[in-house]
Structure 1
Amino acid sequence: MTTRRTGLREQKKQATREALRRAALRLALERGPDNVRVDDIAEAAGVSPRTYNNYFSSREQAIVAAVTAERETRVATAVVARPARVRLADAVIEAVVAQYTDPSEPGRDALLLIITSPALRDTFVDTATAMEHPLADAIAERLPGADRYTARVLAASVAAAVRVALERWIQPPAAANGGLVVPSGSLPDLLRAALAPLTPALNAAEKRPSQR
């Protein structure tokens, strides 16, 4: 009975989070992000502002979450799901590239909303940090015998590389195109380039346990 109640509670929390994300993006697209208040999002999702604050600390977080929903968890899940014969570096890079270029995510209108708002751009780039802890768990699972510190350092390095790639992609020089901010280059290529320097470290961590 306790397990069932816990499961129902988690489902309700997930549904509330999803309702807030959807409401935030819809209102931002309709009114512009600067004209959306936290109270507006909460009302549209059918919850109180106090409940809203249990899920998001700002309107920007909720709006961006509609685009990046659970991405950090999906990256970690994809890393674990890769066959054991796949090298850790390949598993991590392919998981990141796949999840950051998922065509099922909100499309051009949502992306345009983000790149035209400095606050949303900053929040979007910051979302890369959220992958550190779930990815550390995934790396530790793929590397039996590796210490938790190593998994955490590797995951933090991956998150930093992704952040650099996103910054390069979504924040090109302001002077370009008359000051208009537009995505620059191929995001998959930028992600691969940013993650490439980490391949030796990921490979070394994978070899180390077997050498003990």
Structure 2
Amino acid sequence: MDGQAEGLAGEPAGGPAAEQAAGLRERKKQQTRRALSEATIALAVKRGWANVRVEDIAAAVNVSERTFRNYFSGKAEAVAATHLDRMARVARAVGERPAVEPLFEAIGTALRFEFAPEDSAAHQQQTPRRQHREAIWEVLTEPAVQAEVMRADQAAQGVLAEAVAARTGTDAVADLYPKLVASAVGAAMGATLSHWLRADPPVPLAPLIDEALEHLRTGLSSPGTFPTES
């Protein structure tokens, strides 16, 4: 040996095998994080916020309570994680859309894919039963959850601003435009999701996303002048 550490297959540490193993570990961590977040939301909607303990969430994912604490400080952060992760994927998708595609079309496509996918099962979930929607609303209006969602939204806006800056030739730190777009999109999605959850009768989510972005694209023109389909 010349002092260079070797991997299990005789490869130098940090070689292809090590990189593959590191990638697998990271994917497993992301899968665990997502499963814990989704389990927190599902249990809170089913049982009510006050009736869900961290140990219940951990058991639902077949991990220890200590593992849950490695990912989240508490239930509220676990709930907000789903929103943060979705918006981070939206930002990545915006960056991967064709450069010739108008900015708000790219954002709309990415948002619909994450929040209102076009498979049949997802379409059935776009208009959940009133009782289910009310249960989701109760979870999201918990003060601790609201605080964590606001924190997550700020982080998500930073990631989206970077994607917008890359598409528009601006600087996410030095220029105002990408920050404005990311902030406006974050606010629009918050209002859209709230409207969707409270709508009576229920309405599908995808058209609401399109309407919200069209309002932004046209500069929030008054409802009397907003373009409508004939």
Q: Judging changes above 3 Å, is the alpha-carbon distance between structure 1 residues 27 and 198 closer, same or farther for their aligned structure 2 residues? A: closer
Structure 1 residue 80 corresponds to structure 2 residue 105 = no
Counterpart for residue 180 of structure 2: 153
* Structure 1 CA distance for aligned equivalents of residues 206 and 182 of structure 2: 19
| Alignment size in residue pairs | 190
CA RMSD of aligned residues (A): 3.6
Q: State how far apart, in whole Å, the 2-side matches of 1:163 and 1:92 are.
A: 15
Cα pair distance change 1:116/1:21, threshold 3 Å: same
1:45 aligned to which of 61, 74, 78: 61
Out of 93, 104, 129, which is 2:108 matched to?
93
* C-alpha displacement of 1:32: 4.9
Higher CA-based Rg: 2
Residue aligned with 1:70, SS? helix
**Post-superposition offset of 1:8:** 4.1
Distance 1:157 1:46 in 2: 39
Query: Does the C-alpha gap of structure 1 residues 7 and 89 become closer, same or farther in structure 2, counting only changes over 3 Å?
Result: same
Identity in percent: 35
Is the partner of 1:116 in helix, strand or coil?
helix
Please give the alpha-carbon distance, in whole angstroms, between the structure 2 residues aligned to 1:96 and 1:48: 33
Runs (5+) with no aligned partner, structure 2: 1-12, 220-230
Alignment of structure 1 residues 122-133 onto 2, 5 Å: 122=141, 123=145, 126=149, 129=153, 131-133=156-158
The answer as to whether partners of 1:64 and 1:114 remain within 8 angstroms in 2 is no
Q: Unaligned regions of 5+ residues in structure 1, if any?
A: 173-181, 202-212
Which whole-Å deviations, capped at 9, do the CAs of 1:78-131 have from their partners, x for residues lacking one? Answer: 212221221112211232233221246594779954532444233599488253
Tell me if structure 2 keeps the 8 A contact 1:60–1:119.
no
8 Å CA contact retained: 1:168, 1:184: no
Q: Does 1:21 align with 2:45?
A: no
Q: Structure 1 residues 63, 112: closer, same or farther in 2, change over 3 A?
A: farther
